[in-house]
Structure 1
Amino acid sequence: MTVKFTQEHEWIKIEGDVASFGITAYAAEQLGDVVYVELPEVGKTIKTGDAVAVVESVKAASDVYAPVSGEVVEANEELSASPEKVSEDAEGEGWFAKIKLSDASELDGLMDVDAYKAFLESL
């Protein structure tokens, strides 16, 4: 399993031609307590950079952007009832959706964990 990160603080875990994604622990920490998550629709075709979800916290509402292009094959419906999972385990049970990748080469433009840590240190 490969994990990559975007400069907009999304993570993506790639398993074969399907990848789950969500916001990073850093992003969740910046937002504070998450109170609502709007997920992308299963079956929707998305493109890299599209606003595909919304996360609302006690501090702000933020768009979540697609880290890669593909088709949404699953949404984490548990977040509708328990949005706090994003705050508690952003890079685990707080995943937003799974995408069937349409162009795996898009992953090359994302950061690995070491590059993301260096990026955070530069903020």
Structure 2
Amino acid sequence: MSEVLDNLLYSEEHEWAQQVEGRVVRVGITDHAQHLLGDIVFVEFPEVGSTISAGDSVGSIESVKTVSELYSPVSGTVTKVNDGLEASPELINDQPYGGGWIFEIEVDGEYADAVKGLLDAAGYSALVAE
């Protein structure tokens, strides 16, 4: 059974979003997604400073099994990427909700408006149970 944390919001594409402070949101892939991918060997990040929209493909995650697109769950400007994943992409497997975060984005407008379309933990759990 995949771990789903109550304090995060989730996209239907299996990314999670966590408010860091103000309008800054940290993004990663869910425990469910990393299990499906298997051992992760490379992460292609979005470019810091780029403006992206919710649902945009912003990079990719390569595992020993496949390459999967990385989507942004919210719209805004990329402010930071997790450089630690360049040397240790397996952190996504080991700590999908901790050290395995992928990028941070400053959302357009108010935080509450930016995350309206995302699922809470119960909604995401129901999605992956289907």
Q: Please indicate, yes or no, whether the TM-score normalized by the shorter chain is above 0.5.
A: yes
Distance 1:53 1:81 in 2: 17
8, 16, 25: which one pairs with 1:11? 16
Tell me which residue corresponds to 1:111: 119
Structure 2: 5+ residue stretches without partners = 1-6
Summarize the alignment of residues 71-86 of structure 1 with structure 2, pairs less than 5 Å apart: 71-86=77-92
For normalisation by structure 2, the TM-score amounts to 0.89
Structure 1: 5+ residue stretches without partners = none
Aligned length, in residue pairs: 122
CA displacement at 1:106 relative to structure 2: 3.0
Contact 2:107 2:114 in 1 (8 A): no
Contact 2:10 2:118 in 1 (8 A): yes
2:1 aligned with 1:22 = no
SS of residue in 2 equivalent to 1:108: coil
Summarize the alignment of residues 42-121 of structure 1 with structure 2, pairs less than 5 Å apart: 42-103=48-109, 104=111, 105-121=113-129
2:35 aligned with 1:32 = no
CA displacement, residues 44-77 of structure 1 (integer Å, 9 cap, x when unaligned): 1111111112100000000110100000100000
For normalisation by structure 1, the TM-score amounts to 0.94
Distance 1:14 1:53 in 2: 21
Instruction: Give the % identical residues.
Output: 42
User: Cα RMSD over matched residues?
Assistant: 1.3
